[in-house]
Each structure stands twice: as structure tokens, then as C-alpha cells.
């Protein structure tokens, strides 16, 4: 059953299924393969920002499941993405998360050399290949799109249109922060969590836990926090600084020093917004920053959470201090969420676990699960199919769905 949530509705109808995804779906390797192939690799993934790679030769790499890619700034200033895979024997071409290449891409294994546009310039000891048709051995391209200064890639064709079309309902609000101008702060998130990727988003997708689990957020915006549905797969949560915020030191000093960019409209000058990017990411806006983060499965029980914070290029001392304090609040929140994700995730292996029992305040979590179920109807089953039948059962359910 799919619940219908009217835009801005306080509560959905009372007869919805509150159980969440069944526990087996968080610990099943065959399912993860399907999720990777059918969902994660077929949806736009955020790699970074155009100002992470400002000069020709700058690159960022991005790994997801079996795939590896990198984005490279070309000599003419444009961006291209390639599979990070040498056509000789598959070595990585670029080896770091980000870096700079001079003039050409040189494979670290045997020294094949590629041009920035991916064409093969030459193999080491070329005569040892008899005839080597260079045109057949260029780097394979990966689809790339840029929206509001953020770089996205997609490994396989998928159901989403361009990023601009997909995220159009966010354009005015996120655009009001002038994200194209922003520059990286260097505050890279990159941590490994012992949880299934879906558990990270489950914690993120509801504000019911904020009052109990996040003392700093509760102090900052408390019950001003609201969830809003912006359309299919687009859900936003917002909180504004509340009257009397600042019982905690970091919150008090943050609110006191918060200095919004002059271009920000009035209704966003004391607002933190969380803009979901289906299926595995979020943009967070504050008056000083925009950050993204995303969860990327390593295996069924482990995920990398990766993200970055961006700021305005010119900052006053006060803005800089506010940004530092907002980062402190956000880091504390992240640590709290991490613990909650771990506990919830590991509970699903216990004999005592039956199912979730969701509040009306967790309806976005349910809506996110519905979005996943639409793509992978096998998620509706109470018990897992045999691993070797996972894809086949899913296809059969796709054919049979309403
Ligand atoms: S694997 Fe790249 S040159 Fe051999
Ligand atoms: Fe949280």
C-alpha cells in the first residue's frame, strides 16, 4: 500500500502501514546487489562542486559499489567524467580522492598515457602490441551533469531526467544561497559506518527524534522543525532559530554570530533546511553554508558517509566563527545520528525484532520506503527470496504490480 501525503499535510490518514521495510532487507547481500544495479547506479550521485576542481587537470574521484569514476577539468574549462579504469589491465588512473594531473593522465601500472579528453595518447612500448588501434582504447565516459554548481554523475541510464529537472522544486530555495559561488571549506566528511545504507537515510528522514536525540538542534530550532513534501521523491525539513535559542554554549554563540549573506531572502536568514536527494543524499542549507552528504554502501553491513561543506568566498570574521560553530553543532548531531543508525540497524538481526512501528511524524520515512518499493517491489515481501532468485522474483513482482 502507498500512503498518500497531501503537500504540507500535518498527518496522513490513520490507516497506513506503520511497519517500515522488513528487517531482512537491511542484511541481505543478494538484495544489495539489486539495489546497487537498479537504484544506486541508475540515479544521479553528487560527486562535489565545480569549485572543488577549479583548474584544468584538477580531478575528484568517486567510487560506488563495483564502479569507479573520476571527474576531470578539461583544458577548455569544461568537465568530463570517466570510468577510473585503465583499458590495459584495469588499474585506477587517478589514485586519490582528489588531486591534479599535469598535461596527461598516466596509468600507474604500466604507464599508458591518456589525454584529458579520455583518448589514448599512447601505450608504453607500443610495438609490443603488434597493432594497437588507439581509437578502441580510450577511457570510457560516464554521464555527468552540473546543477547549481554541484557535479553529479550517473553510471547507468535511469528513470530521472536531468538534475535540473529532477530537483526543479528546490531551485528557488537552494538557488537563493548562490551555491555556484561557494567554495569548499575542506571539511570533508568521510567516515565508515557499520550499518546498511538504508539505515542512514531512515534516521535522516524523520524529525520525530530531534527533541530527544539532538539537544543542540532542539536548542537551536526546537519545535519549529517541519517536514514538507515537494513532490515525488522530494522531501524537505526546515527549522528556524527559535525564540530564546542558546541554552547551550555553541548554539548561543552560533545564533549571536550568524551573519546571513545579504542576498538571502528574509525567510531564510535564520533557517536550516534539509533537502532530500533521492535515493541516498541530502543538501543542508544554513545562512552561512551549503553541504551535501550521501551514504554509499561498501557491503550489506557497512557504508561510507561522504560529504562536504561549502562557504561563501568572502567571509567576515563573524561569519567564519558562525560557520565553525554551525559545523560543531552539525558534527555533534551527526555523531548522535550515527549511534541511532547503528542501534536500529543491528536490532534487525535480533530474534526480538518484529518491525518498525512508525509515528505520523515519521511519514517521510515511510514515503521514502514506498519510493524504494516502487523501484524494487521485492522489498514488499515479508521474507527474503532465495539469493539466486532475488532478481527473478523482483522482476515477476514488477510485472504483477498495480
Ligand atoms: S593497467 Fe594501465 S598501463 Fe597497464
Ligand atoms: Fe538526526
CATH 2.102.10.10, the chain: domain bounds: 44-157
- CA distance linking residue 70 with residue 399, whole number of Å: 36
Q: Measure the CA–CA gap between 341 and 197, rounded to whole angstroms.
A: 10
Beta bridge partners of 231: 234
| Averaged pLDDT for residues 186-206 | 90
- Look up cell 522544486; give the residue: 169
- Identify the helix (H) or strand (E) that includes residue 256: helix 249-257
CATH class of 44-157: mainly beta
- Tell me which architecture the domain covering 1-31+181-402 has in CATH: Alpha-Beta Complex (3.90)
Which residue reads 546543477 in cell numbers?
Answer: 147
pLDDT tens, position by position, 159-183: 999 999 999 999 999 999 999 999 9
User: Residue 156: its pLDDT value, please?
Assistant: 98
User: Cα(318)–Cα(372) distance, rounded to whole angstroms?
Assistant: 43
CA 123 to ligand 1: nearest atom: 3
Confidence grade of residue 187 (pLDDT, cut at 50, 70, 90): low
Q: How far apart, in whole angstroms, are the C-alpha atoms of residue 318 and residue 218?
A: 23
Ligand nearest to the CA of 284: 2
User: Any idea which ligand is nearest the CA of 330?
Assistant: 2
pLDDT the model gives residue 13:
61
Percent of the chain surpassing pLDDT 70: 96
The residue whose CA is least distant from atom 3 of ligand 1 is 110
Provide the b/e sequence for 13-41 (b: ≥16 CB within 10 Å).
eeebebebbbbbbbbbebbbbbbbbbbbb
3-class SS at 234?
Answer: strand
Pocket of ligand 1 (CB under 6 A): 86, 88-89, 91, 107, 109-112
Render pLDDT for 83-96 as a digit per residue (tens, 0 to 9): 999 999 999 999 99
Nearest protein CA to atom 1 of ligand 1, as residue? 89
Phi, psi of 245 (to 5 degrees): -60, 145
Give the confidence band of 188 by pLDDT, cuts at 50, 70, 90: low
Model confidence band, residue 1 (pLDDT cutoffs 50, 70, 90): very low
pLDDT tens per residue across span 279-330:
999 999 999 999 999 999 999 999 999 999 999 999 999 999 999 999 999 9
223-234: average pLDDT: 92
Mean pLDDT value of segment 53-82: 98
What is the structure's pLDDT at 12? 53
Per-residue model confidence (pLDDT) at position 69: 98
State the span(s) of the chain assigned CATH 3.90.380.10.
1-31+181-402
Probe residue for ligand 1, chosen from 68, 85, 88 as the CB with the greatest number of ligand atoms within 8 Å: 88
pLDDT band at 6 (very low <50, low <70, confident <90, very high): very low
| CA of 211 relative to ligand 2 center, distance in Å | 10
Expressed in angstroms and rounded, the spacing between residue 291 Cα and the centre of ligand 2 is 16
Residue 131: predicted pLDDT: 87
> pTM score, two decimals?
0.94
C-alpha cell at 321: 566563527
Q: What is the mean pLDDT of residues 182-190?
A: 84
What confidence tens digit (pLDDT) does each residue in 347-365 have?
999 999 999 999 999 999 9
Angle, alpha carbons 28-363-242 (nearest 5°): 120
Amino acid at each position: 500500500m502507498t500512503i498518500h501525503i497531501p503537500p504540507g499535510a500535518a498527518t496522513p490518514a490513520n490507516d497506513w502501514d506503520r511497519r517500515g521495510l522488513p528487517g531482512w532487507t537491511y542484511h541481505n547481500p543478494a538484495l544489495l546487489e539489486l539495489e546497487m544495479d537498479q537504484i544506486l547506479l541508475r540515479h544521479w550521485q553528487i560527486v562535489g562542486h565545480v569549485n572543488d576542481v577549479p583548474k584544468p587537470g584538477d580531478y575528484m574521484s568517486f567510487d560506488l559499489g563495483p564502479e569507479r569514476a573520476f571527474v576531470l577539468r578539461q583544458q577548455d574549462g569544461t568537465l568530463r567524467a570517466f570510468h577510473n579504469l585503465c583499458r590495459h589491465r584495469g588499474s585506477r588512473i587517478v589514485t586519490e580522492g582528489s588531486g591534479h594531473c599535469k598535461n596527461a593522465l598516466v596509468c600507474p601500472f604500466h604507464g599508458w598515457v591518456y589525454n584529458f579528453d579520455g583518448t589514448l595518447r599512447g601505450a608504453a612500448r607500443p610495438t609490443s602490441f603488434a597493432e594497437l588501434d588507439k581509437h578502441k582504447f580510450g577511457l570510457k565516459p560516464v554521464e555527468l551533469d552540473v546543477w547549481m554548481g554541484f557535479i553529479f554523475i550517473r553510471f547507468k541510464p535511469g528513470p530521472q531526467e536531468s538534475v535540473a529537472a529532477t530537483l526543479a522544486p528546490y531551485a528557488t530555495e537552494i538557488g537563493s544561497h548562490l551555491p555556484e559561488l561557494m567554495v569548499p571549506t575542506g571539511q570533508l566528511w568521510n567516515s565508515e559506518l557499520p550499518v546498511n545504507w538504508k539505515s542512514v537515510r531512515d534516521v535522516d528522514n524523520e524529525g520525530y527524534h530531534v527533541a530527544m536525540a539532538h539537544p543542540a538542534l532542539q536548542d537551536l530550532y526546537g519545535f519549529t522543525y517541519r517536514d514538507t513534501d515537494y513532490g515525488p521523491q522530494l522531501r524537505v525539513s526546515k527549522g528556524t532559530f527559535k525564540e530564546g535559542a542558546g541554552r547551550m554554549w555553541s548554539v548561543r554563540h552560533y545564533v549571536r554570530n550568524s551573519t546571513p549573506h545579504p542576498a538571502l531572502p528574509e525567510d531564510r536568514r535564520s533557517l536550516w533546511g534539509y533537502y532530500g536527494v533521492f535515493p541516498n543524499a541530502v543538501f543542508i542549507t544554513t545562512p552561512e553554508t551549503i553541504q551535501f552528504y550521501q551514504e554509499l554502501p561498501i557491503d550489506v553491513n557497512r557504508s561510507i558517509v561522504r560529504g562536504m561543506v561549502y562557504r561563501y568566498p568572502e567571509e567576515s570574521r563573524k561569519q567564519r566563527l558562525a560557520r565553525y560553530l554551525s559545523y560543531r553543532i552539525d558534527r555533534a548531531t551527526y555523531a548522535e545520528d550515527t549511534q541511532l543508525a547503528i542501534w536500529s540497524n543491528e536490532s534487525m538481526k535480533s530474534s526480538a525484532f518484529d518491525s518498525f512501528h512508525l509515528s505520523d511524524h515519521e511519514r517521510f520515512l515511510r514515503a521514502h520506503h514506498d519510493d524504494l518499493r516502487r523501484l524494487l517491489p521485492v522489498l514488499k515481501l515479508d521474507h527474503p527470496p532465495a539469493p539466486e532468485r532475488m532478481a527473478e522474483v523482483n522482476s515477476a513482482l514488477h510485472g504483477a504490480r498495480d
